[in-house]
Amino acid sequence: MAEHLPRRLLEGLEARAQKAIAHWGLENAKPTLLKYRENAVFRVTLADGEPAALRLHRPGYHDESALRSELQWMTALRDGGLAVPSAIAALDGRLLVRLAPTDDSAGQHADIVSWMHGAPLGESGVPLAYGAERQAVIFHALGALMADMHNLADRWSVPTGFKRASWDAEGLLGERPVWGRFWDCQGLSDEQKLGLAGLRDRLRPILERMSAGGHDYGLIHADLVRENVLVRDDGVAFIDFDDAGFGFRLFDIATALLKNRTEPNYEAIERSLVGGYRSKRPLSDAALSTLPIFMTLRSLTYIGWFAARPELPGAKARIKRYADESLRLAQTLPVPA
């Protein structure tokens, strides 16, 4: 990860991380950057020798209330028996620490969560390393755990003041989507802008009808990409709840499947995931028939996401690639043009 970032950006992140871990009494530890997407995530070693993950939250993405709500839901899932990270308190007992702005960086929040053992399912754009039989086992487990998470979310009483984004018609296709205005961002050709604007107009009434029609909706992870699914001896585990919020449950399924579409065994992967999900939670054929819509919506979100993060390596190329992908997916939608 670190070798792909501009040196100045990397040095700034490392300096920020060093300041953050002092709140946990880890001044002598050396943070190692693992990931820089929504957050900067570092591996750190706690005083007892155990590894943990330091998260420097992206300035301006979530406010303190939303970040506390994320930790609340993670705690509820963990209390319900799911293997998810738990927050580690700073020396003063706080679970979330605010870092003051400096000349080089905006103010932001930091936290440390427990280390989750396991290997990421894979990396986007890289073929899966597992054979067909192992893939079937893993994706069945992924679907089952996703259903468990949705079941726990439905049983949980959301506390007063709980605040997370909504991945609904407004949050995906409104004037200010959660991840940005994908249809008119920089980096798109005029032809792409026209096509994406038309696709947005086409999808919005469909999504609004789904909302009115009782489509399964509630708390979701919203970012179950390969990197956020850990494969373990006893199954799988989920990490990185930073984008969690209220949304259609099929959005979680679509997110887990989208970047596996080019796998030779994709049809078996989809069957395994859906089978695992159905082993724990109802999913009708009628609901499943809308999966292509949610795959398209998931692809659209990445356009705005990368447009808002031009500092990331390859951002410009990915904007164009996801635009083309979204328009291709739109050609297969089982809805009237």
Residues 131 and 98 in one domain: no
The residue out of 58, 88, 115 marking a domain boundary is 115
- How many Cα neighbours within 13 Å face the side chain of 252? 31
Q: Is the dihedral of CA 156, 231, 253, 306 positive or negative?
A: positive
Could you say which DSSP state residue 168 is in? S
Same domain, 209 and 309: yes
Residues 141 and 274 in one domain: yes
Instruction: Read off the CATH number of the domain in which 6 is found.
Output: 3.30.200.20
Angle at 167 between CA 165 and CA 170, to 5 degrees: 100
Pair of tokens at residue 288: 């499943």
- In this structure, the answer to whether residues 231 and 190 fall within a common structural domain is yes
- CATH number of domain containing 183: 3.90.1200.10
Do 152 and 102 share a domain, yes or no? no
Q: d(Cα 6, Cα 170) in Å, to the nearest integer?
A: 35
- pLDDT tens for residues 63-119? 999 999 999 999 999 999 999 999 999 999 999 999 998 877 788 999 999 999 999
Here the tokens at position 295 are 């795959």
Per-residue model confidence (pLDDT) at position 5: 77
Do both 8 and 151 map to the same domain? no
Same domain for 63 and 149, yes or no, is no
pLDDT per residue as tens, the chain (337 positions): 566 778 888 888 999 999 999 999 999 899 999 988 879 999 999 999 999 999 999 998 899 999 999 999 999 999 999 999 999 999 999 999 999 988 777 889 999 999 999 999 999 889 999 999 999 999 999 999 999 999 999 999 999 999 999 999 999 999 999 999 999 999 999 999 999 999 999 999 999 999 888 899 999 999 999 999 999 998 999 999 999 999 999 999 999 999 999 999 999 999 999 999 999 999 999 999 999 999 999 999 999 999 988 888 889 999 999 999 999 999 988 654 4
Instruction: Report the distance separating Cα 142 and Cα 139, nearest Å.
Output: 5
Q: Does the residue 220 lie in any domain?
A: yes
Q: Give the domain range for residue 124.
A: 120-330
Residues 78 and 129 in one domain: no
Number of domains in the chain: 2
